[in-house]
């Protein structure tokens, strides 16, 4: 149970958590805090939060759970704004899509990682963003990865895990570096590829016809290119090293396939496609069980 | 109306056409022909075709419409097998995903493009293949591109257009080269990228975790990597030049994005993502109208 939850940045992620915890009766009070009074007012009108304040110090006063659900680039300044005002029994966690950069921001602000700081990442999203897009069941059966550090207090970690479990999420722990590598490969790289593909085709001399004849496969393949550009730019900047490594692995692999096609290497192409289909079919089988 | 339709290769594409034309009462008789008696028997059991034969010459005897729905690599040998036996009033068409290679095969077999030969491409498909995957409404509201040649008889072209319109498809004409370029960009390249991405991730040292944490965006993005490897290998070989050109455009564009990420070029990344999202959203808007 949480007495007072403060959410910095009440958008899709923070808003959906608030809705879910309210439904589960897991919080007495949920307070929103951000720099945008309009979005906070909207969140309150929608019943997502109980109240709000623009003052970070007032927000964290008496709070036992503090969630940072602001854009990745704003994590450091929010931490700075609450430094010295976090209650002794409070836990601070975040919902950023990359973890090393948040940990670095915390280390910079506090000089060391506070034991009450528990980095976490709910793997859920929609193309839409903002509190209007928040839904009560966003986290049901979705994975949340908690990336505790050696400095992290075990009880603090447990409270963050319990909060996310109350939303119906499946919570697992992982090291920071592993998280960033895995997410770069499974989420950040596909987004980068989808954006780049649509961008490439838009500059083709046949782009009108290309989009006119694009069918179902294309629609699914490019769905994630409709995601929020600001959020994904921030992710590219905040998880830069892991994303670059993933891009380079992919580029090297694609170059091999290019060579196989160029060589009309029937067996080589067949091996690549057959292997990929088997892996993808196996993935889907595990998803459905 | 068609008196006798012969379908070479009664799989997903040929089978769905047969089912649709039967429903529309557009054919008196539909005969299947291929090298696999098992698949022909299954097609007949399912009521997709009226009868079948393994003999191409017997198959085209009395036929006024001949469809080649065999794998791309088999087009030439089927044309060879019916050479000299096509009825005077018959039309020959195909359903290949690339057109220049089919045209080249026809030119090689006949020495010139016969006026009754009408290359065409129904843009429809499923991950599943084979006659068991055939469905009656596969072509409803889907596009079929007809790529007539200067040698093509206008009446023959019109009969192919009418046949596809009877399935509920939206038929348009295009030049062979344009077709191959557009399909390479909009369909073949995304398939190549999806196969290559899954292949890349499967070879990562974190591949177990990658597939464990892969979420909805990844599932949609890689759906086409579950497509038939034989068919897509053939397409890569048959539309090689256009696919290589598309791959190279994409690779160059991805390298620019790689550089932007590497440089932490916030404005550059933002411009690419914002442009791509706008193009993709615009595409979806046009799809839904």
Q: Which of A181, A223, A283 lies closest to B220 in CB terms? A: A223
Enumerate the residues of chain B whose CB falls inside 8 A of the CB of residue A269: 233, 236-237
Buried b (16+ CB within 10 A) or exposed e, A140-166: eebbbbbbbbeebeeebbebbbebbeb
Cα(B153)–Cα(B136) distance, integer angstroms: 29
My answer on whether A155 and A184 are in the same domain is no
Parent domain of B7:
2-173
My answer on whether A114 and A148 are in the same domain is yes
Enumerate the residues of chain B whose CB falls inside 8 A of the CB of residue A197: 189-190, 193, 250
What confidence score (pLDDT) does residue B129 get? 84
Enumerate the residues of chain B whose CB falls inside 8 A of the CB of residue A178: 206, 209
Cα(A193)–Cα(B192) distance, integer angstroms: 12
Element (H, E) at A219: helix A216-221
Is pLDDT above 70 for A96? yes
What confidence score (pLDDT) does residue A98 get? 96
My answer on whether B137 and B222 are in the same domain is no
Q: Which of A279, A289, A229 is nearest to B276 (CA)?
A: A229
My answer on whether A150 and A270 are in the same domain is no
My answer on whether A161 and A184 are in the same domain is no
Domain stop point among A156, A173, A190:
A173
Phi-psi label, residue A53: left if phi above 0, alpha if psi -120 to 50, beta otherwise: beta
**Other beta carbons less than 10 A from residue A47's beta carbon:** 10
What confidence score (pLDDT) does residue A88 get? 96
Q: Which of B211, B251, B276 lies closest to A225 in CB terms? A: B276
The stretch A179-204 carries a mean pLDDT of 96
What confidence score (pLDDT) does residue B94 get? 98
CATH of the domain at A223: 1.10.3660.10
My answer on whether B36 and B95 are in the same domain is yes
Q: Do A204 and B254 touch (CB under 8 A)?
A: no
Phi, psi angle pair for A124, to nearest 5°: -155, 150
- Segment A146-163, tens digit of pLDDT: 999 999 999 999 999 999
Cα(B88)–Cα(B249) distance, integer angstroms: 45
Domain stop point among B122, B152, B173:
B173
The stretch A38-46 carries a mean pLDDT of 97
Cα(B5)–Cα(B166) distance, integer angstroms: 14
Confidence of residue A217 (pLDDT cuts 50, 70, 90): confident
What confidence score (pLDDT) does residue B217 get? 81
- Determine the residue among B197, B224, B237, B244 to mutate to test chain A binding: the one whose Cβ has the most chain A Cβ atoms within 10 Å: B197
> In angstroms, what is the C-alpha Rg of chain B?
21
Is pLDDT above 80 for A288? no
Q: Which of B244, B249, B262 lies closest to A204 in CB terms? A: B249
Q: Which of B190, B219, B269 lies closest to A217 in CB terms? A: B190
3-state secondary structure at position B198 = helix
CATH of the domain at A107: 3.40.50.720
Give the residue ranges of DSSP H helices in chain B. 12-23, 37-45, 56-60, 75-82, 100-110, 154-165, 176-183, 189-202, 207-213, 216-221, 229-238, 240-262, 266-288
Domain stop point among B173, B198, B233:
B173
Confidence of residue A128 (pLDDT cuts 50, 70, 90): confident
What confidence score (pLDDT) does residue A289 get? 66
Enumerate the residues of chain B whose CB falls inside 8 A of the CB of residue A187: 214-215, 217-218
What confidence score (pLDDT) does residue B126 get? 77
Cα(B50)–Cα(B58) distance, integer angstroms: 15
My answer on whether A96 and A124 are in the same domain is yes
Q: Do B198 and A279 touch (CB under 8 A)?
A: yes
CB of A102 closer than 8 Å to CB of A94: yes
pLDDT along chain B (289 residues), means of 10: 97 97 97 96 97 98 98 95 97 97 97 97 86 96 96 98 98 97 96 97 93 86 92 95 98 98 98 97 86
My answer on whether B253 and B130 are in the same domain is no
Place of tokens 């939850």: A5
Number of structural domains (chain A) is 2
My answer on whether B107 and B140 are in the same domain is yes
My answer on whether A41 and A130 are in the same domain is yes
Strand pairing report for A143-146 and A2-8: unpaired
> What residue of A is the nearest CA neighbor of B177?
A206
My answer on whether B157 and B230 are in the same domain is no
My answer on whether A190 and A108 are in the same domain is no
- Segment A16-25, tens digit of pLDDT: 999 999 999 9
Overall pTM surpassing 0.80 (yes/no): yes
């Amino acid at each position: 149970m949480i007495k007072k939850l403060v959410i910095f940045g009440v958008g899709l992620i923070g808003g959906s958590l608030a809705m879910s915890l309210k439904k589960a009766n897991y919080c007495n009070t949920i307070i929103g805090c951000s720099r945008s009074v309009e979005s906070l007012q909207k969140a309150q009108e929608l019943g997502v939060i109980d109240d709000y304040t623009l003052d970070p110090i007032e927000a964290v006063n008496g709070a036992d759970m503090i969630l940072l659900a602001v854009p990745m680039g704003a994590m450091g300044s929010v931490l700075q704004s609450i430094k010295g005002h976090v209650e002794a029994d409070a836990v601070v966690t975040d919902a950023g899509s990359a973890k090393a950069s948040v940990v670095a921001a915390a280390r910079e602000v506090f000089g060391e990682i506070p034991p009450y700081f528990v980095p976490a990442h709910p793997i859920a999203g929609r193309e839409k963003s903002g509190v209007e897009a928040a839904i009560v069941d966003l986290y049901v059966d979705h994975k949340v990865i908690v990336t505790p550090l050696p400095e992290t207090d075990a009880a603090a970690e447990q409270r963050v895990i319990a909060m996310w479990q109350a939303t119906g999420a499946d919570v697992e722990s992982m090291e920071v570096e592993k998280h960033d590598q895995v997410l770069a490969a499974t989420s950040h790289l596909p987004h980068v590829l989808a954006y780049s593909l649509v961008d490439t085709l838009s500059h083709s001399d046949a782009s009108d016809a290309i989009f006119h004849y694009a069918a179902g496969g294309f629609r699914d393949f490019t769905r994630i290119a409709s995601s929020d550009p600001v959020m994904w730019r921030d992710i590219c900047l905040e998880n830069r090293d892991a994303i670059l490594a993933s891009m380079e692995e992919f580029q090297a692999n694609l170059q091999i396939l290019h060579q196989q096609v160029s060589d009309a290497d029937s067996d080589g192409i067949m091996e690549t496609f057959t292997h990929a289909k088997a892996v993808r079919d196996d993935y889907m089988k595990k998803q459905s069980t």
